[in-house]
Amino acid sequence: MGIDLDAPEPLYEQVAAILRARIEDRTYARRIPSGPSLSDEFGVSVPTIVKALDLLKGEGLIRAVKGRGTFVVPQDDAPPKGT
Protein backbone atom coordinates (compact mmCIF):
# COMPACT_ATOMS: atom_id res chain seq x y z
CA MET A 1 0.00 0.00 0.00
CA GLY A 2 1.41 3.36 -0.97
CA ILE A 3 0.51 6.94 -1.69
CA ASP A 4 -1.28 7.53 -4.98
CA LEU A 5 -0.84 11.13 -6.09
CA ASP A 6 -3.57 10.68 -8.72
CA ALA A 7 -6.19 9.24 -6.34
CA PRO A 8 -9.23 11.31 -5.44
CA GLU A 9 -8.60 10.79 -1.70
CA PRO A 10 -6.58 13.53 0.02
CA LEU A 11 -2.98 12.61 0.79
CA TYR A 12 -3.51 12.87 4.55
CA GLU A 13 -6.37 10.31 4.35
CA GLN A 14 -4.14 7.95 2.38
CA VAL A 15 -1.37 8.29 4.97
CA ALA A 16 -3.87 7.79 7.80
CA ALA A 17 -5.16 4.61 6.13
CA ILE A 18 -1.63 3.20 5.90
CA LEU A 19 -0.84 4.10 9.49
CA ARG A 20 -4.19 2.66 10.64
CA ALA A 21 -3.36 -0.63 8.89
CA ARG A 22 0.08 -0.68 10.52
CA ILE A 23 -1.51 -0.17 13.94
CA GLU A 24 -4.02 -2.94 13.27
CA ASP A 25 -1.34 -5.41 12.13
CA ARG A 26 0.85 -4.32 15.07
CA THR A 27 3.69 -3.00 12.91
CA TYR A 28 3.28 -0.05 15.26
CA ALA A 29 2.40 -1.68 18.55
CA ARG A 30 3.62 1.08 20.83
CA ARG A 31 5.21 4.16 19.25
CA ILE A 32 4.59 5.92 15.95
CA PRO A 33 7.66 7.25 14.10
CA SER A 34 8.24 11.00 14.16
CA GLY A 35 6.53 13.37 11.74
CA PRO A 36 9.71 14.15 9.79
CA SER A 37 10.51 10.44 9.53
CA LEU A 38 7.04 9.67 8.17
CA SER A 39 7.27 12.67 5.87
CA ASP A 40 10.46 11.28 4.36
CA GLU A 41 9.00 7.78 4.08
CA PHE A 42 5.81 8.85 2.31
CA GLY A 43 7.24 11.77 0.34
CA VAL A 44 4.67 14.22 1.69
CA SER A 45 4.96 17.38 3.79
CA VAL A 46 5.09 17.36 7.58
CA PRO A 47 1.74 19.26 7.74
CA THR A 48 0.18 16.40 5.74
CA ILE A 49 1.54 13.93 8.31
CA VAL A 50 0.25 16.09 11.17
CA LYS A 51 -3.23 16.12 9.59
CA ALA A 52 -3.13 12.31 9.19
CA LEU A 53 -2.05 11.88 12.82
CA ASP A 54 -4.80 14.28 13.96
CA LEU A 55 -7.32 12.10 12.14
CA LEU A 56 -6.05 9.00 13.97
CA LYS A 57 -6.08 10.88 17.30
CA GLY A 58 -9.72 11.77 16.65
CA GLU A 59 -10.44 8.07 16.13
CA GLY A 60 -8.81 7.27 19.48
CA LEU A 61 -6.08 5.13 17.92
CA ILE A 62 -3.10 7.24 18.99
CA ARG A 63 -2.19 9.91 21.51
CA ALA A 64 0.61 12.44 21.59
CA VAL A 65 2.68 13.03 24.70
CA LYS A 66 4.46 16.37 24.66
CA GLY A 67 8.21 15.87 24.57
CA ARG A 68 7.88 12.09 24.28
CA GLY A 69 6.24 11.24 20.97
CA THR A 70 3.10 9.70 19.57
CA PHE A 71 1.89 6.38 20.93
CA VAL A 72 -0.65 3.75 19.99
CA VAL A 73 -3.56 3.62 22.43
CA PRO A 74 -4.02 0.04 23.60
CA GLN A 75 -7.41 -1.20 22.41
CA ASP A 76 -8.66 -1.77 25.97
CA ASP A 77 -7.90 1.94 26.66
CA ALA A 78 -9.48 3.22 23.45
CA PRO A 79 -12.84 4.99 23.72
CA PRO A 80 -15.79 3.00 22.32
CA LYS A 81 -16.37 3.59 18.63
CA GLY A 82 -19.17 5.97 17.82
CA THR A 83 -18.75 8.11 20.95
Whether the CB-CB separation of 15 and 3 falls below 8 Å is answered with yes
Q: What is the pLDDT of residues 46-79, one digit of tens each?
A: 999 999 999 999 999 999 999 999 999 997 755 5
Judge whether 49 lies within some domain: yes
Global pTM reads 0.87
Q: What is the CA radius of gyration of the chain?
A: 12
Give the number of domains in the chain. Answer: 1
Domain of 51? 11-72
Here the CATH number for the domain that contains residue 45 is 1.10.10.10
Judge whether 79 lies within some domain: no
Closest Cα partner for 71 from 35, 31, 22, 18? 31
Judge whether 2 lies within some domain: no
**CA–CA separation, 59 vs 29, rounded Å?**
16
pLDDT above 90 covers what percent of the chain? Answer: 86
Judge whether 80 lies within some domain: no
Judge whether 42 lies within some domain: yes
Which burial class, exposed, middle or buried, applies to 58 when counting CB atoms under 10 A from its CB (0-12, 13-18, 19+)?
exposed
Closest Cα partner for 42 from 63, 6, 69, 11? 11
